Amino acid sequence: GLYVDNGVDRTEMARALTSSERREVEHEILSLLGLPNRPPRAPPGSAAPQFLLDVYKSLLDAPRDDLNLSGRDLSAINESDVIMSFASRSEAHQSGLRHERGRRLWFDVSEVPIGERIVSAELRLFQSESTTPQRATVSVYQLVADGTREKALMLVDSAAAGPTGGWLVLNVTGPLNSWVAFPDSNLGLYLSVHLPDKPAHEIHPEDIGIVISKGSDASRQPFMVAFFQSSGHRTTHSR
């Protein structure tokens, strides 16, 4: 509705907006927020929204203890103008791999805003508390085309996984930079897990409790999160 001050310290509704006025106001707000289209309804409870909801709460004034940001540097969050999460679409682009034990992850980064500077990007993997208390090295590789039907692997980052479980964070800033600059080069990431006493022997990520498959708990599925700083050049969507 349209509310006005009645002059005696009280706000009253002068009249309700008509449906066309309401639509017009909605369009104004959408235009202001730079949202051209309303996306389809999202599945609730997935991990990426929950992570960003924790980030959002950390930006509010009141400090909170219940946020699970895995020891993230909050100053980096405060410096970012845009933070995006990308759900893993591991079912896409599965052909052409000889490696059988590792898992491939693919992220659709086509919605990355043009003109924003990439500060950093993280791959976040959830490791359930393992029944077999063993340590392992989790490595992430960027898949690159080598001119043939096969794809080469380029090491990006590694992390140590222990028996206690929790979120593993790997730096994937390099691959995201190349995918944004050259969209056709986005062949995904390859996840490889090795035991420290058998470095030549690759095991399945699921063997140490890493959640990969779509059917498992949605709030623990792998995702990528990217931090951007605004370059100052605004791109507006036409209405």
Partner 1 sequence: TTRETQRRTKKKPDTTPAESSYSPHPFTDSSAHWSSRSCQIQTLYVSFRDLEWHDWIIAPNGYDAFYCSGECNFPLNAHMNATNHAIVQTLVHLMNPSQVPKPCCAPTKLSPISVLYFLDESNVILKKYKNMVVKSCGCH
If one asks whether residue 33 binds partner 1 (CB under 8 A), the answer comes out as yes
If one asks whether residue 48 binds partner 1 (CB under 8 A), the answer comes out as yes
Structure tokens at 62: 């009141």
Residue with Cβ nearer partner 1 (149 or 239): 239
Q: Which of 10, 38, 98, 233 binds partner 1 (CB under 8 A)?
A: 38
CA 136 – CA 139 distance, rounded (Å): 10
Q: What is the DSSP pairing of strand 198-203 with strand 103-105? A: unpaired
Which of these ranges, 78-86, 143-151, 161-169, 180-188, lies near partner 1 under the rule CB under 8 A?
78-86
Q: Which residues of 8-20 are buried (b: 16+ CB within 10 A; e: fewer)?
A: eeeeeeeeeeeee
Structure tokens at 176: 């995201």
Looking at residues 95 to 114 of the shown chain, list those that interact with partner 1 (rule: CB under 8 A). 108, 111
Residue with Cβ nearer partner 1 (94 or 230): 230
Three-class SS of residue 126? strand
Distance in Å, CB of 74 to partner 1, minimum: 14
If one asks whether residue 75 binds partner 1 (CB under 8 A), the answer comes out as no
Question: Which helix H or strand E contains 230, and what residues bound it?
Answer: strand 223-230
If one asks whether residue 121 binds partner 1 (CB under 8 A), the answer comes out as no
CA 113 – CA 231 distance, rounded (Å): 11
Q: Which residues bind partner 1 (CB under 8 A)?
A: 2-5, 11, 14-15, 21, 24-26, 28-29, 32-33, 35, 38-43, 46, 48-49, 52-53, 55-56, 59, 80-87, 89, 108, 111, 230
